Chains A and B, each alone.
Chain A
Amino acid sequence: MMKRHSIALAFALLVSSLAWGQTYSGPRAYDGVHRNVIDGTLLGGYNVVTGWFIGESGAYTRHLTDRWSVSADEQMQLFKQVYSASVTGTYRLPLGRTNLYFDGRVLFNRYDRWNVNEPIVNLSAYWETSYVDLRLGESLVRYHKIGVKEEYRSYTTTGYTEPLVMTFGLGVNIRPRSNPWNLGLFIRNYDQFYYENWNINWGVRFHATLRPEMKLFGEFDVRPAGSISQLATRYETSLKVGLHYVL
């Protein structure tokens, strides 16, 4: 009986999700007019290892066609001393009245405080409906120490390639995405500039349209340590506020 109820509920959610999507093209899709998108973000937070930090990130996206786009991102986190740059290629596949994006990304992180470089390749699929979005993918993460002592080099490795890291994320909104403002919750094991293995982060996100070509957006992100198999413990809390501009 319970199983039948669950199937009926899932079907109802799916239908309502698709129904809401009838007038929706999605914030990442090309709107037919503006090929260029710029995002600028300010962030600040507290990390158990590094203490307080502030930073900025920027992104530029170019819609090559209705389906294809490329983007470049960068970030600087001061005090934490993390610097990042990435390029992403995206293909959008309309699926019913939702969008399925395929992202291929190359990310480079420099953890300057500890002399570590971290190149990452991520492939993921991102399904975006009106109320729900879901990301699944895989990352290949490598890190290596720079400035290694000369005497170590003959007998030790200074780099490590992690076994494949699964990428997963789920977001829900309280309003349909076409609404001028929205508030939602998310849970995932990655952020814009890192991919964790089984450490998840979660939080609240919002956006509000200021002008037709400009949106204010933000995220309050809680990143506990040891969250899957252990008792979740406070590790990092951060707040991001940014502007999304199309031209």
Chain B
Amino acid sequence: MSCKMRKTAFQIVLAALLAVSCNKVSPIGVLVAGTAVEDRVAMSNLFYRNHYEDKVWLLAKGDYTFLVGADSHITDDSARMDEMLSIGLEDDDLFYAHLGDIADTKAEYYVTLDSLLQEAKSRYVNKHYHKVGTEYVSNDNTDPDPVTMPFDRITYPFFPVVGNHDITRNGWALWSNIFHSSFYEIDVLVDLGDGNYAFDHLIFLDSASGTLGKTQIDLINQGVLDGKHADDTYPYRNTFVFSHTNIFRPQFFEFASTFTREETFFLLDQFEKWNVSAVFCGHTHTWDERNYNGVHHFTLDTMCERNNPEPGDYLVRMFCNADGTLEWSPVHMSTTKRK
């Protein structure tokens, strides 16, 4: 090998060493665009603590259900996403969770998504609220002097996690402009009647980068997602976790990265600490369902029209019974790909 070649080889090695000191490195050492998980979680946590923490509650009476979908990859055709929101509204699900990769990274797709969500929120408000002057009051409110609120302050119960396709290029800017936070928790206060209540707990993780990252793991270890409202008198009855990246690989030919060894075991251990009832993941576009160490794990198939053009059972509905037991069923989607 000539002296020049040797020098070039050393320069390549040196460049590789320098590249690894950066936070966003592709496997071949090329810097990639996008917002890293550390920044996303720091922003999300700050936003959520400042704006939502004690303001977003879900109230349920007795039995309730929720709907979960994954990997809609919205492009020009948003019919499946629209169908999910319509099913949730018609069947009175308490909330709808989306497991990430909601739209491919293009501004116009997010404009479509935002319009879809605004329209769905209007339908939701029309069904569950009535107007008093220019403001709204919940139909469930029996208070003779009810609290009214403007349209913008009503929480539309659509809760997504962020996926890897949501954060490529300028994806995080588009995604966070609508949803604001990728790392958060929500309490469900369940009125069981006769003055009895129970709490359920929803945890949304940012796993879009294939790792939770140091900031998120530190926050989890500090107990940030352990819940604020339950106590010894009313402990959390059921906890549900939502993540884009999946834990269990459904089949041999699965070319999507899952969590690394240590992080897999960290998460499985953390689910036990949180006393989790069910975990919902997406990412692989392949269905899988199993019980591991007392936790029910679902990996959902994609609801995207391009990947699954034919009608099928792409959604999951969880039934949370008043006695604390859980049941689930697949939910059929009938929309086909637009010609």
Binding site for B on A (CB under 8 A): 47-50, 80, 82, 111, 113-116, 118, 143, 145, 148-149, 151-152, 155-158, 160, 162-164, 174-175, 183, 185, 187, 194, 196-200, 202, 204, 220, 222-237
- B219 within 8 Å of A (CB atoms): no
Stretch at the interface among B23-31, B223-231, B316-324: B23-31
Q: How far in angstroms is the closest Cβ of chain A from B7?
A: 11
With A49-B262, A145-B293 known as contacts, the answer to whether A232 contacts B26 (CB < 8 A) is yes
Tell me whether A227 and B293 are in contact (CB under 8 A): no
Tell me whether A148 and B293 are in contact (CB under 8 A): yes
- Of A111, A116, A204, which contacts B17 at CB under 8 A? A204
Which residue on B lies nearest to A160, using beta carbons?
Answer: B292
Assuming A143-B265, A198-B256, A233-B37, what are 12 further A-B pairs, CB within 8 angstroms?
Answer: A115-B269, A145-B293, A152-B293, A156-B294, A194-B261, A196-B260, A196-B261, A204-B13, A225-B257, A230-B209, A231-B167, A233-B23
Q: How far in angstroms is the closest Cβ of chain A from B14?
A: 10
17 A-B contacts (beta carbon < 8 Å): A49-B217, A115-B269, A152-B294, A163-B249, A183-B13, A194-B261, A198-B258, A222-B25, A227-B27, A229-B257, A230-B245, A230-B257, A231-B164, A231-B167, A234-B23, A235-B210, A235-B260
With A149-B294, A198-B255, A223-B260 known as contacts, the answer to whether A230 contacts B27 (CB < 8 A) is no
Per-residue 0/1 for B250-279: is the Cβ within 8 Å of any A Cβ (1 yes, 0 no)? 111011111111110110110000000000
Kindly list the 6 A-B residue pairs having the minimum CB-CB distance in the complex, ordered from nearest.
Answer: A226-B210, A225-B211, A230-B164, A114-B265, A233-B209, A152-B294
Measured in the bound complex, the distance between the Cα atoms of B25 and A198 in whole Å is: 16
- B9 within 8 Å of A (CB atoms): yes
Which residue on B lies nearest to A50, using beta carbons?
Answer: B262
Which residue on B lies nearest to A228, using beta carbons?
Answer: B257
Which residue on A lies nearest to B165, using beta carbons?
Answer: A230
Q: How far in angstroms is the closest Cβ of chain A from B258?
A: 6
Give the secondary structure class of B's interface.
loop
CB-CB < 8 A to B62: which residues of A?
none
CB-CB < 8 A to A111: which residues of B?
261-262, 265
With A48-B214, A163-B254, A174-B6 known as contacts, the answer to whether A230 contacts B269 (CB < 8 A) is no
Tell me whether B208 and A230 are in contact (CB under 8 A): yes
- Of B210, B211, B217, B291, which contacts A155 at CB under 8 A? B291
Tell me whether B248 and A225 are in contact (CB under 8 A): no
* Contact count A vs B, C-beta below 8 Å: 159
- Of B27, B257, B265, which contacts A187 at CB under 8 A? B27
Measured in the bound complex, the distance between the Cα atoms of B179 and A201 in whole Å is: 33
Measured in the bound complex, the distance between the Cα atoms of B22 and A237 in whole Å is: 12
Tell me whether B257 and A227 are in contact (CB under 8 A): yes
Tell me whether B210 and A233 are in contact (CB under 8 A): yes
Measured in the bound complex, the distance between the Cα atoms of B16 and A194 in whole Å is: 23
With A158-B292, A194-B261 known as contacts, the answer to whether A231 contacts B168 (CB < 8 A) is yes
Residue among A197, A200, A204, A233 with the most chain B CB within 10 A? A233
With A114-B266, A198-B258, A225-B263 known as contacts, the answer to whether A157 contacts B210 (CB < 8 A) is no
CB-CB < 8 A to B256: which residues of A?
198, 228-230
Q: How far in angstroms is the closest Cβ of chain A from B21?
A: 9
Measured in the bound complex, the distance between the Cα atoms of B265 and A163 in whole Å is: 17
- How many chain B residues touch the partner (CB < 8 A)? 55
Tell me whether B259 and A225 are in contact (CB under 8 A): yes
Tell me whether A174 and B262 are in contact (CB under 8 A): no
CB-CB < 8 A to B266: which residues of A?
49, 114
- B213 within 8 Å of A (CB atoms): yes
CB-CB < 8 A to A224: which residues of B?
25, 27
Tell me whether A114 and B268 are in contact (CB under 8 A): yes
CB-CB < 8 A to A113: which residues of B?
265
- Of A157, A183, A225, which contacts B209 at CB under 8 A? A225
With A49-B217, A183-B13 known as contacts, the answer to whether A229 contacts B291 (CB < 8 A) is no
CB-CB < 8 A to B291: which residues of A?
155-157
Tell me whether B20 and A174 are in contact (CB under 8 A): no
Tell me whether A226 and B1 are in contact (CB under 8 A): no
CB-CB < 8 A to B338: which residues of A?
none
Q: How far in angstroms is the closest Cβ of chain B from A175?
A: 7
Tell me whether B211 and A233 are in contact (CB under 8 A): yes
User: Which chain B residues in 19-59 approach chain A with CB under 8 Å?
Assistant: 20, 23-27, 32, 34, 36-37
- B339 within 8 Å of A (CB atoms): no
- Of B16, B26, B27, which contacts A204 at CB under 8 A? B16
Measured in the bound complex, the distance between the Cα atoms of B250 and A230 in whole Å is: 18
CB-CB < 8 A to A149: which residues of B?
294
CB-CB < 8 A to B167: which residues of A?
231
CB-CB < 8 A to B153: which residues of A?
none
Tell me whether A162 and B249 are in contact (CB under 8 A): yes
Tell me whether A232 and B27 are in contact (CB under 8 A): yes
Q: How far in angstroms is the closest Cβ of chain A from B297?
A: 10
CB-CB < 8 A to B4: which residues of A?
none
Which residue on B lies nearest to A183, using beta carbons?
Answer: B13
Measured in the bound complex, the distance between the Cα atoms of B292 and A156 in whole Å is: 6
Tell me whether B269 and A114 are in contact (CB under 8 A): yes
Residue among A49, A155, A185, A232 with the most chain B CB within 10 A? A49
